[in-house]
């Protein structure tokens, strides 16, 4: 059961990685946003995989006792946002990710080292 924001972050990152999310980035938002402690950003090559990744993250969170506060974008499939409270997860198609450039928008947010949680 994910009890801390860091444990939830690890759960989200590992789940997304297990489902073949690409270029996973986690940004620490403390002090920059009141919405979450972390934002996780990833992409996938097609809408079907985007939705599969999103569904897996929601299922893993629920198994850990955490209910998503909001899930946006499932119908369009180009960008799904899952608000888990302490962690907000974004999964895009590659074109949408480049267009919205959340990493650039939050450039002042420190990146979290995910090397222990993701496979190369």
Distance CA 60, CA 56 (A): 6
Name the band, by pLDDT with cuts 50, 70 and 90, for residue 33. confident
Please give the residue that has the higher pLDDT: either 90 or 3: 90
Tokens linked to 115: 């090397």
Asked if the model's pLDDT at residue 120 lies above 80, the reply is no
Look at residue 19 in the predicted model and tell me its pLDDT. Answer: 97
Answer whether 106's CB lies under 8 Å from 120's CB: no
What b/e readout covers 34-63, taking b as 16+ CB neighbours within 10 angstroms? eebbbbbbbbbeeeebbbbbbebbbebbee
| Per-residue pLDDT reduced to its tens digit, 86-117 | 999 999 999 999 999 999 999 999 999 999 99
What's the whole-number mean pLDDT along residues 34-40? Answer: 93
| Per-residue pLDDT reduced to its tens digit, 47-60 | 999 999 999 999 99
């Amino acid at each position: 059961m994910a009890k801390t924001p860091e444990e939830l972050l690890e759960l989200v990152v590992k789940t997304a990685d297990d489902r073949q999310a690409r270029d996973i980035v986690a940004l620490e938002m403390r002090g920059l946003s009141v919405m979450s402690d972390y934002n996780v950003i990833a992409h996938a090559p097609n809408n079907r995989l985007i939705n599969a990744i999103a569904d897996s993250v929601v299922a893993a969170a629920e198994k850990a006792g955490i209910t998503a506060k909001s899930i946006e974008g499932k119908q369009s499939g180009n960008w799904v946002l899952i608000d888990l409270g302490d962690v907000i997860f974004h999964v895009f198609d590659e074109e949408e990710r480049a267009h919205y450039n959340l990493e650039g928008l939050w450039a002042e947010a420190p990146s979290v080292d995910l090397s222990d949680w993701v496979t190369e």
